[in-house]
Amino acid sequence: MVDRRVRVVDSHTEGEPTRLVIEGGPSLGSGPLAERRARFQREFDDFRRFAILEPRGHSAVVGALLCEPVDPDCVAGLIFFNNEGYLGMCGHASIGAAVTLAHLGRIAPGSHRIETPVGVVGVELVDRNLACVDNVPSRRHLANVEIEVEDVGRVRGDVAWGGNWFFLTEDAGGEIAFDNIDALTRRAEAIKRALAAAQVTGDDGAPIDHVEFFGRPSRRDADSRNFVLCPGGAYDRSPCGTGTSAKLACLAVEGELAPGASWRQESVIGSLFSACYRLDAQGRVIPTISGRAYVTAEATLVRDADDPFADGLMG
């Protein structure tokens, strides 16, 4: 017996998938998106699992629930979720959502504002595939943190906020390349466990749920190549919008990248984000992340109440 139908549009941003829920999502009421995200997590986590986990999705899919914004100047509100839980901000999914909304005829090329649980972001839709996101203020929280990692040894890096919490390090222990993903994943997972054991956190004890390695690029037009381990154990196919924002914050505080200067971040699969930053009136780093997204599917997800895996296989 069918008890739910949900309309979604899938896209990928520089290789990383987004599933935008446009009809049939949970009713979260009104109020700030942070409060609605908390209600989503508290009362409707079965929907998260249903929408993106196997057999309808897979571990790399990031979901975005389209919501009515509080601010009437915003074209949409977005609540982001993945195979493990909920995200504050997601750069690639914001780009994907903007391109999807244009695909649906809901926005046109130009400047727009989108609400997220951690603040309002600006989106410039350049054309049908290219979008630029002005992210939330980003900053380095801790510098040159050293931790002892089991079976790895000493690792040093920075803790920074780019809409999510990151540990950024050049201690990848090997080449940042597609054929080295399994080894990079194991090392990043070990670092994440070590950070938790050493009680290295973000603000107010917030867990560091992303680990980001940096190394030499393979593309001649890139400044750096990264590997990002996301919450839930999946790696980011894109160069990671919030991770690139965290990197810009670290470069800015070290004086290694000037406001307005370009930083081109390559992903582990070879895709590219172009980035820069400006300083706001309070001197905070405001990153701009640019990338391309492509719509890949329009679908209706069906939940059959008799299906033993109706709410997903894991998570």
Query: How far is the C-alpha of 165 from the C-alpha of 187, rounded, in Å?
Result: 18
Q: Are 96 and 64 in contact (CB under 8 A)?
A: yes
CA angle 196, 200, 203 (to 5 degrees): 115
Express each pLDDT in 65-86 by its tens digit: 999 999 999 999 999 999 999 9
Q: Name the residue among 25, 54, 56 with its Cα closest to residue 40.
A: 25
User: How high is the pLDDT of residue 315?
Assistant: 55
Q: In this structure, are residues 91 and 114 in contact, taking their beta carbons and an 8 Å threshold?
A: no
pLDDT for the residue 3:
81
pLDDT of residue 252: 98
pLDDT value of residue 313:
85
Is pLDDT above 70 for 113? Answer: yes
Q: Which helix (H) or strand (E) holds 99?
A: helix 91-103
List, for residues 157-193, the tens digit of each pLDDT value. Answer: 999 999 999 999 999 999 999 999 999 999 999 999 9
- pLDDT at 1 > cutoff 60: no
**What's the rounded Cα separation, in Å, for the pair 201 and 224?**
25
Q: Which sequence positions are flagged as catalytic?
A: 90, 240
For the chain, what is the mean pLDDT? 96
Residues 6+ apart with CB under 8 A from 186: none
* pLDDT level of residue 137 (50, 70, 90 thresholds): very high
User: The tokens of 100 are what?
Assistant: 């999807």
Do 65 and 72 contact (CB within 8 A), yes or no? Answer: no
pLDDT tens-digit readout, 205-252: 999 999 999 999 999 999 999 999 999 999 999 999 999 999 999 999
CB 218 within 8 A of CB 270: yes
